[in-house]
Amino acid sequence: MFRLGMPTLIEFDSLEENINLCCKLGLDFIELNMNLPIFTPEYISSEKLKKLMMKHKIDFTIHLPEELDLTSFQPSMRRGHINRCKEVILWASSAGINILNMHINNGIYFTLPESKYWINEKYEAEFLTLFLDSYKEILLFADEYNVKVCIENTCNFFLPFVKKGIDLIKELDGFNLTWDAGHDAKCHFRETNVFEKLAKKVTHMHLHDFNENGDHQTLYTGNVPINERLHFAKKHNLSVVLEIKTSEALKKSLINIDTFF
């Protein structure tokens, strides 16, 4: 059976406000977004997180900051980002949090007159070496602390250099995926085949709809096959973040699940 959670909402100023909504809606967990400074190890201790989980009978997952680049061609920057990942893994493990969500950084591109050219495509061999080395280090480290690092699609799993990178690490211990259903729809479902082929590696899901207004829309208002994704989540016992980022749209999405699923 799947478990349903919510993202941390920008409309709130504290973790407690997010917890109150989570409990009111009967959700199982909150994904702490480290892009917000109030959800970092420096701001909130693992001991406090643990106490809050016990008090309110909810769980947390963590969304790593999106600027992380484990394949940066600048060695000191890359090492800093790897070390930050390790710090967060230790923080999560100490709190009893076992899922970390992260993006693959596509890197920089040159804008040409009629297209864009990714630097990681130009220097693919170097990129793939760094990709394997960095993710192997992080995944093995996380595995030692019983933390699952789940790699999320961000409309990039069809990029050749990213796809090759995933192929390099898919058999590593500790390799897990987050299926972001809204991002997949945004890029015309060009990422679906990756998750179908690696279904046993999918641990986490971000569920939101996509329509003419963009992604992160209320469920059942766009072209994401919500029921199919929920059945997949149920079959594979996933944690599912309802990644709709206002309280009202989140409430409406839950009503729609009750109505249509």
pLDDT of residue 165: 99
Give every CB contact of residue 171 below 8 A, 6+ residues apart in sequence: none
The CATH number that domain 3-260 falls under is: 3.20.20.150
Residue 122: both structure tokens together: 């130009």
In angstroms, the CA 118 to CA 227 distance is: 36
Specify the 3-state DSSP secondary structure of 100.
Answer: strand
In angstroms, the CA 59 to CA 46 distance is: 13
Partners of 103 in the β-ladder: 152
Q: Which amino acid is at 182?
A: G
Q: Which residues of 195-208 are buried (b: 16+ CB within 10 A; e: fewer)?
A: beebeebbbbbbbb
pLDDT of residue 26: 98
pLDDT of residue 119: 98
Give every CB contact of residue 87 below 8 A, 6+ residues apart in sequence: 41
User: What is the DSSP-derived secondary structure letter of residue 158?
Assistant: T
Give every CB contact of residue 84 below 8 A, 6+ residues apart in sequence: 65, 68
Q: Which residues of the chain have pLDDT under 70?
A: none
The answer to whether 227 and 235 are in contact (CB under 8 A) is no
In angstroms, the CA 163 to CA 6 distance is: 29
